[in-house]
């Protein structure tokens, strides 16, 4: 059972994490939710469409203008408090690698710390333990935050993903993070080229077999664009195809931009797998 905030999720229950970027230069929406009102509208829509988790980030993942911890906190904390007030049952995740920001986010009402840069600040797991909130343990190939991979190589990328994420997860539990609130993430595109991300997807079952709930962040990423040779705004179909494969292989949490479309994909896969009955079953019965 995965437990985050007030919510519990069964092992075969797919969970959508909706992305809400509090940045003026986010790679996909180009700052569409930087201001409060559009961001709150995005949360309301995402929840209505089936998102159980809202992932709030104050720094874009890619290179760009420096964002200090103080500025990141300014972008995120008040918004976390307001989302907590308006949506008491939604799981609030904060996408940060900084322990100071993570601690302030927990004070503001966050339920989950999404450490997308793979423990670059070891103090973030300590914060999660102290506040008894969840933690996402990600493989980033040892990359520094906001850097792109350059000629990165692995003897076996999935073996490295398992070594790093399982190590981070066990450390988190040893520190006091509730075991049922720890997730592992292969970190598509982070410290990886396109072939690495494709292999991580193809062998996702190896992560699932560890017993830790697996989170995948696939939405409109460069590995999808390169695989299909599609620009940023034409990657939704490739993303959804990758989502379906990941769901079939057993991933549980999906960090996405397109909530409604992802919900349909996950429901369809769950029904094929026998975990969910059809919403309507009239054919051949009349």
- Name the burial class of residue 215, with classes exposed (0-12), middle (13-18) and buried (19+) by CB atoms within 10 angstroms of its CB: buried
Q: Which SS3 state, helix, strand or coil, does residue 33 take? A: coil
Q: Is 60 within 8 Å of 20 (Cβ atoms)?
A: no
Burial pattern 136-163, b for ≥16 Cβ within 10 A else e, equals: bbbbbbebebeeebeeeeeeebbebbbe
DSSP class of 53: E
Which residue is catalytic, options 75, 192, 221, 235? 221
Q: Is 18 within 8 Å of 54 (Cβ atoms)?
A: yes
Nearest to 20 by CA among 91, 69, 88, 68: 91
Nearest to 182 by CA among 3, 16, 11: 3
Q: Annotated catalytic, 255?
A: yes
Q: Is 67 within 8 Å of 73 (Cβ atoms)?
A: no
What is the C-alpha to C-alpha distance for residues 262 and 279, in angstroms, rounded to an integer? 16
| Strand 7-9 to 2-4 pairing | antiparallel
Which residue is catalytic, options 235, 255, 282, 283? 255
Kindly list the catalytic residues.
221, 255
């Amino acid at each position: 059972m995965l437990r985050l905030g007030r919510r519990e999720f069964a092992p075969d229950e797919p969970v959508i994490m909706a992305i809400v970027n509090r940045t003026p230069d986010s790679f996909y929406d180009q700052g569409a939710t930087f201001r409060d009102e559009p961001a709150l509208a995005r949360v309301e829509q995402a929840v209505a469409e089936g998102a159980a988790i809202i992932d709030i980030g104050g720094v874009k993942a890619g290179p760009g203008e420096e964002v200090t911890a103080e500025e990141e906190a300014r972008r995120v904390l008040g918004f976390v408090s307001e989302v907590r007030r308006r949506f008491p049952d939604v799981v609030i995740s904060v996408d940060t690698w900084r322990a100071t920001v993570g601690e302030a986010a927990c004070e503001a009402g966050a339920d989950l710390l999404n450490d997308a840069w793979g423990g670059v600040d070891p103090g973030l797991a300590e914060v999660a333990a102290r506040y008894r909130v969840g933690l996402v343990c990600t493989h980033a190939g040892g990359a520094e935050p906001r850097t792109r991979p350059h000629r990165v190589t692995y003897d076996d990328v999935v073996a490295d993903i398992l070594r790093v994420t399982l190590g981070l997860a066990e450390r988190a539990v040893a520190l006091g993070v509730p075991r049922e609130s720890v997730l592992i993430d292969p970190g598509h595109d982070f410290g990886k080229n396109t072939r690495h991300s494709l292999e991580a997807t193809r062998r996702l079952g190896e992560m699932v077999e560890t017993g830790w709930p697996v989170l995948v962040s696939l939405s409109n990423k460069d590995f999808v664009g390169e695989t299909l040779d599609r620009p940023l705004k034409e990657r939704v179909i490739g993303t959804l195809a990758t989502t379906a494969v990941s769901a079939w292989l057993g991933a549980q949490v999906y960090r996405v931009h397109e909530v409604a479309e992802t919900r349909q994909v996950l429901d369809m896969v769950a029904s094929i797998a026998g975990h969910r009955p059809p919403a309507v079953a009239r054919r051949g019965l009349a």
